Chains A and B, each alone.
Chain A
Amino acid sequence: MKLTRDEVESIAHLARLGISGDEIPPLADNLSRIIDFVQQLERADTEGVTPMAHPLNMTQPLREDRVTEPDQRDLYQQNATAVEAGLYLVPRVIE
């Protein structure tokens, strides 16, 4: 499997990674080899095997529907680059 330049650019866009043009060929090469490696799994016979959703053979524990988290906005917002009126400010997302 050989990833094209367009595919690498599309994957980078989906992951919001900024990559320069000359980084693409080596990335395409590396990613292709990773895919080839994993693709070996396709040769395994999985007839009748239930797909595994999680490596731990356990089921989901549940919590009761109770409010346990107090308002700690001020504490959490100390990490934010910009806040105003209680809102987190981010670069404008619509034109």
Chain B
Amino acid sequence: MEWETVIGLEIHAQLATRSKIFSGAATAYGAAPNSQACLVDLGYPGVLPVLNAGVVRMAIAFGLATESTVAARSVFARKNYFYPDLPKGYQISQYELPVVHDGRIEIRLDDGSRKTVGITRAHLEEDAGKSLHEDFHGQSGIDLNRAGTPLLEIVSEPDLRSAKEAVAYMKAIHQLVRYLGICDGNMQEGSFRCDANISVRPVGRHEFGTRAEIKNLNSFRFVERAILFEVERQIDILESGGKVVQETRLYDPDKDETRPMRSKEEANDYRYFPDPDLLPLEIGPEQVEAVRAALPELPWQKRDRFMAEYGLSDYDAGVLSSARAVADYFETVAAGVADKKLAANWVMGELAGALNKAGLDIAASPVDAHGLLGLLHRIEDQTISGKIAKEVFEAMWAGEGDADAVIEARGLKQITDTGALEDVIREVIAGNPNQLEQYRAGKDKLFGFFVGQVMKATGGKANPALVNELLKKLLAG
């Protein structure tokens, strides 16, 4: 039988605020245990949560960027369950009336096709603390620094039909929240993670199959692997006449499989009710418009503009608009050169390669945008060839100074003196009489050999266009 996969994702994006969603404690990652947990976060009696204005602005920004409805009125609710890293015994979340609902985002797939994925809702909630189960004399250690950190939970419609689509959607949301500056997107630190609801059904059937929820996937790769495994598992069950059980499962990356959560880890009777400690959140049109006015250019807008303004291909524009820092870097370089494609090639080529090799973010690049621009100027004014430029770039990367300093110190200035170059070419020709004879007998391919010899003789410093021109003339005799 042919099966169709149906996936919906619930993405948790940690909002990039300084303080917590309901308290004035700091949210910085990596602080000493419990040094950022105040009385509100610790669930002490007699304290009251007060909502952070920053998270409201961030939720509105997300809503606007995804063409969602920003709710004029939304309500915080208590989600009740017991776990030691949740000191109040409930998580403050939103249930029936979320702050954002009914939106959409367009995703692009590897084959170049596009698809619109519905966003059911996005709601504000607080994160829980962390439990450490290493040996504390048979006890668990609790760090509540993360308790009360603001999260935006983004729930998609069950519109995704494959692991690839799910990953493309997750990447699109990841890119968007980083563009908006509402989430740092750091998946290692857990700032961006997701749960996947997965089911399969025979192709052509309208009703959904029974779904399993895979919790806490914190990398694009794990999302893809977990979905592939889970789909396979469900099809095997159905094809052997069994029934898929609706349950929560965990993905184990070491074994590359999903397994059911232990019943103790599962709590599905949350008894939501409106939190009496918090009043309804009202968002007026003027607040929405203020956030709209402050929205940055969105990834897809930037991509389209890069194609129109710089004449880049769809692919190049996509790579260069992948993150704001990359786009800003590229635009700084492109603004200073006539050949925009040259700027694009260098940012995506040498620079991206070097960053990748060094494991560095573009913001930490040893060669900044102005540095690279200085180098490209020397290519454009023919001081150096593109090939020599790579050597200069490496030296700049290693901290040997800016492009001009490296070119000067290493004597890399291109030979553009016709007379000097003609001398070199004559020597090369004289030194290779056999090749000369063959070339003149019609073996045109040997032209490349002579170019290579001239370049070798000049240490790569000869202007390639000039070499071509003079070689043609002198070889012809």
Contacts and interface: CB of A to CB of B under 8 A. Distances in A.
Contacts of B56: 62
Contact of A63 (B36, B50, B265, B278): B50
A88 B282 CA distance: 37
A22 interface: no
Nearest to B133: A94
Interface string A25-55: 0000000000000000000000000000110
Contacts of B76: 60
A52 to B, nearest CB: 8
Contact of B140 (A59, A86, A92): A92
Contacts of B97: 53
A88 B76 CA distance: 28
Given A76-B42, A94-B133, A71 B36 contact: yes
B38 A69 contact: yes
A61 interface: yes
A83 B272 CA distance: 32
Contact of B144 (A58, A72, A88): A88
A90 B35 contact: no
Contact of A65 (B54, B142, B144): B54
Interface string B69-102: 0000001100010111000000000000100000
A87 B35 contact: no
Contact of B281 (A59, A66, A90, A95): A59
B416 to A, nearest CB: 58
Contacts of B276: 54
Interface bracket on B: 35 or more
Contacts of B26: 67, 69
Interface stretch (B16-24, B157-165, B225-233, B356-364): B16-24
Contacts, number: 130
Contacts of A64: 52-54
A86 B53 contact: no
A84 B34 contact: no
Interface in B178-208: none
Nearest to A88: B142
Interface bracket on A: 35 or more
B32 A86 contact: yes
Main SS at interface, chain A: loop
Given A53-B75, A54-B274, A89 B19 contact: no
Contacts of A67: 18-19, 24-26
Contacts of B84: 88, 90, 93
B141 A72 contact: no
B271 interface: yes
A68 B26 CA distance: 8
A30 B80 CA distance: 23
A64 B24 CA distance: 9
Given A63-B52, A93-B133, A82 B274 contact: no
Contact of A89 (B23, B25, B54, B142): B142
Interface in B22-69: 23-26, 32-39, 42, 50-56
A56 B277 CA distance: 11
A4 B279 CA distance: 36
Contact of B280 (A59, A88, A92): A59
Nearest to B282: A59
B133 A92 contact: yes
Contacts of B113: none
A77 B109 CA distance: 51
A14 to B, nearest CB: 6
B282 A60 contact: yes
Contacts of B32: 71, 73, 86
Contacts of A92: 133, 138-140
A58 B82 CA distance: 31
A56 B275 CA distance: 12
A87 B38 contact: no
Contacts of A53: 75, 97, 274, 279-280
Nearest to B84: A90
B395 to A, nearest CB: 43
Contacts of B282: 59-60
A77 B143 CA distance: 12
A93 B280 contact: no
Contacts of B42: 76
A76 B58 CA distance: 31
Interface string B131-155: 1110011111111100000000000
A21 interface: no
Contacts of A88: 34, 84, 141-142, 144
What 3 A-B pairs have minimum CB-CB distances, sorted nearest first?
Answer: A68-B24, A65-B54, A87-B141
11 contacts: A14-B80, A54-B276, A63-B53, A65-B19, A66-B18, A68-B24, A76-B39, A85-B141, A87-B33, A91-B139, A92-B139
Given A54-B276, A62-B53, A64-B54, 11 more contacts: A58-B279, A60-B76, A63-B52, A63-B53, A64-B53, A66-B18, A86-B32, A89-B139, A90-B84, A93-B84, A93-B140
